[in-house]
Amino acid sequence: MATNTGEVMLEMRNITKRFPGVLANDSVNFDVRAGEVHTLLGENGAGKSTLMKVLFGLYQPEEGEILLNGTPTKITSPTHAINQRIGMIHQHFMLVPTLTVAENVALGLKSGRRPLTDLKAVARGIADISDEYGLAVDPNVDIWRLSVGERQRVEIIKALYRKAELLVLDEPTAVLTPQEVDELFAILRDMRNSGKGLVFISHKLHEVMALSDRITVLRNGKVTGATTPAESDRSKLASMMVGREVKLAPDKPLVEIGKPRLTISNLSVDGDRGAVAVDGVDLEIRAGEILGIAGVSGNGQRELAEAIAGLRSVKSGSTISIDGKDVAGMDTRDRRNAGLSYVPEERMRDGAIGDFTVAENLILVDHGSDEFSARGMFKFAEIETHCSQLVSDYAVKTPSLETPTSSLSGGNIQKIILARELANEPSVMIASQPTRGVDIGAAEYIHSRLVDARDRGMATMVISEDLDEVLGLADRIAVLCDGKVMDIVPVEGATKEQLGLLMAGVKS
Amino acid sequence: MLEYLEAIFSVAVLASGIRLATPYLLAGLGETVGQRSGVLNLGVDGVMQLSAFFAYWTVLVHENLWLGIGVSVLVGLVMGIIYAIVTVFFEAQQGISGIGIFLFGLGFSDLMFQKNVGTPRFVKSLPDVRIPVLSDLPVLGEALFSHSVVIYGAFLLVPAVAWLLRKTTFGMNVRAVGENPQAADSLGVSAQRTRFIAILIGNVLAGLAGGALVLQLGVFQPNLTQGLGFIAVALVYFGAWRPSGVMVGALLYGLVAASVLQLKALQLIPRSYSDIAAMAPAVLTIAALVILAGRVKAPAALTRPFARH
Amino acid sequence: GGTDDDPATDTTEAMEDDAETTEAMEDDDAETTEAMEDDDGEAMAGGTISMAIVAPSAKDDLAFTQSMVDSIAALDGDIDLQITDGTFVVEEAAAAIRGYAEAGVEVIVAHGTQYGGSLAEIAPDFPETTFVWGTASDTQGLDNIFAYYPAADEGGYVLGTIAAAISESGNIGIVGPVEAGDAVAYIDGFANGAKDNGATDVSIVYTGSFGDVALAAETAQAHITNGADVLSGSAQMVVGAVGVAAQNGVPWFGTQANQASLAPDLVVASQVYHWEGVLQQVLDARAAGTLGGEVFEINLGNGGLVIEFNDGYPLDPAVKTAAEATIAAVADGSQSTGV
Amino acid sequence: MQRLFGAAVPLLAALVAFACGAIMLVAVGADPVEGLRALVDQAVGSGPRIATTLVRATPLLLVGAGITIAFRASVVNIGGEGQIVAGALLSTIVAIQLPNLPGILLVPLVLIAGALGGAVWGAIPGALKAYASVNEILSTIMLNLVAVQFMNFLLRGWLIDPLEVERGTRIPQTARLSENATLPALIPGSRLHLGVLVAVLAAIGAYVLLWRTPLGFRLRAVGHSPEAAKAAGIPVKKSIVTALALSGSLSGLAGAILVFGSESVRMVTDGSAAGFTGSAGFNGIVAALFGGLHPLWTIPSSFLFGGLLTGATGLQRALQVPAALAVALNGIVVIFVVSSAKVRTRLDQLANARSEMKEVLKDA
Ligand SMILES: Nc1ncnc2c1ncn2[C@@H]1O[C@H](COP(=O)(O)OP(=O)(O)OP(=O)(O)O)[C@@H](O)[C@H]1O
Ligand SMILES: Nc1ncnc2c1ncn2[C@@H]1O[C@H](COP(=O)(O)OP(=O)(O)OP(=O)(O)O)[C@@H](O)[C@H]1O
Ligand SMILES: [Mg+2]
Ligand SMILES: [Mg+2]
């Protein structure tokens, strides 16, 4: 760990930022020294991103001031922030997929050969940065061809190319594979050691423990504590965030395993770019069982889930059956009618409709059922009662049922999706990354819900890149590598090391 | 059969097709720039009619073709400014505000014509310029190199626009803003300014298209374009937002139309089916799209107004 | 076919006793005024007749609508004329017609076949008003509707013969809109006239549009490249074709209105619709207390169709005299147009 | 309250637009006050005139209501013109084939035929979009052109009025169609026919469909997020086709009403789409927009534009101002109204925020 000897490069004093109906930041104080990683920790909606957007000039605070290297500065726009040597890696990438890496880096910069672009020069600059921090990436490929990890490198290069001294990373690891996380951390440490100041935001406590020099905890927009990895541990951090004791792993009562509910045999699926993504997979999940799918992302998990959900066509010879009924030929709706439910990996894209109200998202799947409609007409009274029931059951924090879903925080949206998917006691659930980007409190809640359903006899597939989650939740763990099942191991006695080897494709 | 092919693959049809294609090409190129920046303009046809009328009127009064061309460009510029303000600053629904521009152009040009001209009178139309050596080339020389300057200009604009979009900083910004304005904006590339300029370019070319059309004919009539501008917009989709693609589309459209005329002129199409034959360009365009489509994607931010929170 | 004799002849009679009917008009005037007094006083004041035209295309389209406007302008007597042009849409036209009738206009010319339905609805509501419906050949059994139509094929035939005479290649090109309306009558007559007079190759193209000037221009171009050395055509969009003809120095024949102004030295002749005769008869009849119920055809015989030669074009006198002969022949029915 | 205010903004915009109209009047040397008087008088000056205005508004309302459906499923339908023609043709053919059916059967039948024709002509671009990912803006525009030529083909040939051939006048129009198919007048002796009522009901129907039925729910879901809709089991492709088919069916209905509600009770063209539709396919979009793309608001806005269109003929008669002025004015209205849309949403945002704030405070 580097010692925090660097001078203070950023100081945010009593920052207050309101949104309609929300006090996102409540006179927050926050500072960053040169050569340190300062972590912001907090539940969904705690105000982390807001605070950073204020720093980056995307929002103007109602109160408070920002000092850069001691001098009070009013940051009016991202461009202004960039000129102040501040860089930001957003929660959602700010890249133009159809432009090349070099073009994305060159955007907004003065070209040497105006009116023409000067991509050669930019490429050279990129090469230098790549060498310095080991950020290997080809400047001439289009962004859409890059993996998530590579895209993130481009984001970092963009910041460094603009000579950023203070770099903000908002949940940079949420979308990365364990390997990519390690590479990223190596890079970040290099940057820290070269005297840059880093702000790190993550919901994964072991990452926070591994990378941080200092940790500041936000709750409901207020700073509720500051600490360092040395003087705390994961469960301490967790309770600081949530304000109470939290169980990091749900306790699972022993239920006796029932008959097979989801049976997959010889399932093969093509990926987006043609190549085989899922390759002759055989799986069986029984009533009252949670099967965890571990694996480095991009090894066929997404395709597997989508194939089961009926969103992706399977190759001939594949069979999928739910409660003994062959569903391979059915469309998504019929599979759901057959007892399937599905929590997609991409929450905001596939899971919920941002412009729909909370209520509308809660009935997105069952809107056509006779419970909610008769003779093609909605029964609004029934819908109302049903939805407010779910909202209270799942402790969804929302002003009203009519609130546009997009204005809720990630955790709450995920709760809505889960509530919807569990509403009519499905026999099989496919849950992809159920708690990615979701704070501990919400994650704990979601886990316990999944376990309850399992106890009532649901067959569950939990796909996650978070080994802690898989180990904590699953009864059996199947490890995917290159679209093949490397092995299926009972959770008892399974170790991260063992799984890590399997994920890397090494069979013991 | 053979006679049909002979009729279609004749120098005359080629020349005629090129003439017919030019207004589509000019308007399409302009619309390409606009759409690449994320702005759909369904008002092209209206802009063309306005610029066509004012170009015609100018030449009628001042008997100066170049002044006419200039005026058509000017009209395009003015309409561009209006449309840019509406769509960029007021974030207006693009498809529909375009219809507004169209209706205005259609009605106002008609109004002006009836008030200021009335009975159609001819003005001198753009002269053909035979390019010395080239036009004497056997077979195609005559068809390709004996046209008015605007036609040469239109086709020279194809590489020019491609160059603008590919090689220049402005072009890069246009592509970025059309794909992900938030990203561009976060790097200090003003989506608003970029789109504003792109819209101006688009409308200026639409204006030029109107001027070219009317000065080619040497006479104006209400609703001169007969929906030409809408087809030009369609051809941008057809051309997959690439100048070269738009050129192919425009030529296809023009050549099919010319071929049909030639077949009719040679009485190779029974008269009673003349309307069915007249469907050919539209039908073929759709057919070609069924084959092409899916492979290309529209600019992701097309028709999405950009607003910073 | 246009030239079935009966209407032709009896209308010509009607023309002959023109003189006395005009006298008749003089003295009838007083009483008709009284007659009018109650429903509309000032319209008739000072012998003014209030007329209105509702027409599909523009009043100065150098074609169908202009022919009617010019004709009314040419009427003697003091006429207060109102025009609603460019209204193809029947609902709009109906509104306009009704509006004029309500405003007390005495003679309303609905200058488009498609208005017939509206007239059938409106006319009965305004028994004092005279409605003149063209081009049409029946009055829908209403006694305040007059109908009129042109025998467009007659002039077409004549112009066709002239075209064949001045064509060296014997190849003649015709630019048509949609194959409909009296464009067809004119074009078929023209083609027949040309063929009967030795034209070897008469090419007719219907572009499929009344408005597409560019397409009309390219059609003319196609005709010329295919060897045509004389052109004609019908409807508003032909200005495009005339332009091409002018650029290529190819003679042109016009119809409906005199198109000489478009190409002063290349328009050989135009078949011009003169509705004066019909209109005069309408006014006379009205003055005489008959508000409608008659059908008029305009043709070469009754002077409703006039071939106007353009002095700007050096037409061989021999050809011209021949043409005059043809006119006479077609007029007295001895020469059929084959339409 | 803020709803009202929200609605007031486009009205204001419209006023500004009409001011521009006045300026245009002056430009063409006419007295704007006189003009306005003539316009208003012609639009609503008397019973029959109001009737004419309502009749004129009918196709706008139908097309407009259809537009709102398509828009909610985020498909742009510029094919109104073609869909009107398709509907008119099919209903005309039905009336020609079954002239002797009693009105009680024939009238509903021709209306259904119209809706069907429009639905098919709308479903085609829908299918092209859903299954061949052909952009619907392009295909609807192209299909407009195709429909026109097809109309000309039929009206010149198969469907032409035998009289027209006999006389040699050859106007491309059908014979006067069966009396039984004529839309009955709502008020006996007035032009106000059943079609007006049908259109209003259709608009209300569109509203109910979109916000009160599962089907509409699916269309809106697909409009907002095809991905999420798909994952929830909603058939996206099918919904896109459905949306355009529904949108087209209303335009087609307009086509049938144009034929059987017209005074001539026949289909007639000048060889252009506008010749038959009076550009209702475009003006309907305008009306829908002016109604904030909400089916119910589209009702009054359609009547407003209907009045503008009929009023224009009065303007033309009284001041001899070309009717083109009305078209230009339409355009200006659209431009101002779309521009005002933002101001309006901003207002709504504010209001929502305030109410949300209150609720949150209540909870606390
Ligand atoms: N643009 C906005 N408009 C309205 N409310 C907002 C906006 N952005 C954030 N909020 C609200 O402000 C609060 C803080 O949001 P913020 O995104 O800062 O939380 P966060 O700590 O980043 O959560 P997460 O861990 O899910 O990213 C939340 O209640 C959120 O709903
Ligand atoms: N609940 C639903 N979720 C997704 N798609 C549905 C649903 N209901 C119907 N559909 C789709 O709409 C089509 C119409 O089928 P169906 O008649 O059952 O629906 P509906 O009765 O119109 O509405 P609902 O079924 O919701 O009452 C179906 O073929 C199906 O593709
Ligand atoms: Mg955040
Ligand atoms: Mg159902």
Mean of all residue pLDDT scores within chain B: 90
CA distance A80 to chain B (A): 9
**Cα D210 from Cα D207, distance rounded (Å):** 5
Coil/strand/helix, residue D101: coil
Give the distance from residue B92's alpha carbon to the nearest chain C alpha carbon, in angstroms.
Answer: 31
pLDDT score of C34: 37
- Closest Cβ–Cβ partner in B168, B183, B188 for A96: B183
pLDDT in tens, D1-11: 334 445 567 67
Q: Is A23 exposed, middle or buried (CB count within 10 Å of its CB: 0-12, 13-18, 19+)?
A: middle
Binned at pLDDT 50, 70 and 90, residue D130 comes out as: very high
User: Domain B2-119+150-292: which topology?
Assistant: ABC transporter involved in vitamin B12 uptake, BtuC (1.10.3470)
pLDDT above 70 covers a percentage of chain D that reads: 90
Question: A419 alpha carbon to ligand 2 midpoint, in Å?
Answer: 22
The two three-digit tokens of residue D352, written as one number: 């929502």
Burial class (CB in 10 A: 0-12, 13-18, 19+), A412: buried
Q: Cβ D360–A367 below 8 Å, yes or no?
A: no
Q: Decide if A367 and D231 are in contact by the 8 Å CB cutoff.
A: no
Complete DSSP assignment for D73-85: TT-----HHHHHH
Task: Select the residue from D24, D74, D133, D290 to test the B interface by mutation, using most B Cβ atoms within 10 A.
Answer: D133
- Please list every residue in chain D whose beta carbon sits closer than 8 Å to the beta carbon of residue A365: 232-233
- With CA atoms as reference, report the closest residue to C310 among C272, C264, C243: C264
**CB distance A25 to A50 below 8 Å:** yes
Domains of chain D, by residue range, sit at 54-302
* pLDDT value, residue C20: 38
| Nearest residue (CA) to ligand 2, atom 8 | A368
Whether the upstream peptide bond of residue C135 has omega within 30° of 0, thus cis, is: yes
pLDDT, residue C28, reads 38
Of B208, B198, B296, B200, whose CA–CA distance to B244 is shortest?
A: B296
Which class does domain D54-302 fall in? mainly alpha
Over residues C300-320, the pLDDT tens digits come to: 998 999 999 999 999 999 999
**Alpha helices in A294-371, H assignment, sequence order:** 301-309, 332-337, 358-362
Q: Averaged over D95-106, what is the pLDDT?
A: 93
CA gyration radius, chain D:
21
Binary contact (B111, D24; C-beta < 8 A): yes
The closest ligand to the CA of A376 turns out to be 2
Residue among A58, A202, A409 whose CB has most ligand 1 atoms within 8 A, to mutate: A409
Task: Give yes or no for residue B104 having a pLDDT over 80.
Answer: yes
Nearest to B222 among C58, C226, C263 (CB): C58
To probe the interface with D, which of B279, B284, B290, B304 has the most D CB atoms within 10 Å?
Answer: B279
Residue A508 is predicted with a pLDDT of 65
Q: Which two tokens stand for residue C256?
A: 């409906």
Interface of D with C in 95-124 (CB under 8 A): none
Q: Could you tell me if the CB of A311 is within 6 A of ligand 1?
A: no
Q: Give me the pLDDT at residue D65, please.
A: 97
Q: What is the pLDDT of residue D350?
A: 60
In B180-279, alpha helices (H): 181-186, 191-217, 228-238, 243-265, 274-278
On whether the A8-242 domain is CATH 3.40.50.300, my answer is: yes
* Regions of chain A short of the pLDDT cut 70: 1-5, 248, 273, 508
Contacting chains of D (3 CB pairs or more, <8 Å) are A, B, C
Q: Are A50 and A63 in contact (CB under 8 A)?
A: no
Mutate which: D349, D360, D363, vs A, most A CBs within 10 A: D360
Using the atom order of ligand 1, give the atom closest to the CA of residue A91.
27
pLDDT of chain C, 339 residues: tens digit per residue: 333 334 333 433 334 433 333 333 333 333 333 333 334 433 344 478 999 999 988 887 777 888 899 899 888 888 898 888 888 777 788 888 988 998 899 999 999 887 887 888 899 999 999 999 988 878 888 999 999 988 999 999 999 999 999 999 999 999 998 887 778 889 999 999 999 999 999 999 998 888 899 999 999 999 999 999 999 998 888 899 999 999 999 999 999 888 898 999 999 999 999 999 999 999 999 999 999 999 999 999 989 999 999 999 999 999 999 999 999 999 998 999 888
User: Quick one: pLDDT at residue C180?
Assistant: 76
Q: Which ligand has its closest atom nearest to the C-alpha of A44?
A: 1
Name A351's Cβ contacts closer than 8 Å, sequence gap at least 6: A343, A344, A413, A414, A417, D228, D231
Read off the pLDDT of each residue in D347-356 and give the average, rounded to a whole number: 60
Contacts of D275 in chain C (CB under 8 A): 88-89
Considering only CB atoms, D353 lies closest to which of A20, A336, A356, namely A20
Answer for the pair A134, A159: CB distance below 8 angstroms, yes or no: no
Q: How far is A95 from chain B (nearest CA, A)?
A: 6
d(CA C286, CA C289): 5
Q: What is the predicted pLDDT for the residue at D347? A: 59
C227 touches chain B (CB under 8 A): no
Q: Measure the CA–CA gap between B147 and B126, rounded to whole angstroms.
A: 9
The architecture of the domain spanning A260-351+410-503 is: 3-Layer(aba) Sandwich (3.40)
Q: How many CB atoms lie within 10 A of CB B182?
A: 17
Delimit the domains of chain A by residue range.
Answer: 8-242, 260-351+410-503
**Token pair listed for A117:** 């672009």
pLDDT of residue D100: 92
Q: H or E element: which one contains A259?
A: none
Atom index in ligand 2 nearest the CA of residue A366 equals 1
Average pLDDT over residues B47-64: 97
CA–centroid distance, residue A358 to ligand 3 (Å): 20
- Can you tell me which atom of ligand 1 is nearest the CA of A45? 19
D198, D253 Cβ separation under 8 angstroms: yes
Quick one: DSSP state of residue A351?
A: I
Region D331-351: mean pLDDT is 72
Nearest ligand 2 atom, CA A331: 31
pLDDT bin (cut points 50, 70, 90) of residue D357 is low
Q: Helices D194-212 and D236-260 meet at what angle, rounded to 10?
A: 170
A397 CB near ligand 1 (under 6 Å)? no
Question: Is residue D87 pLDDT above 50, yes or no?
Answer: yes
Which residues from D are below 8 Å from C296, CB to CB? none
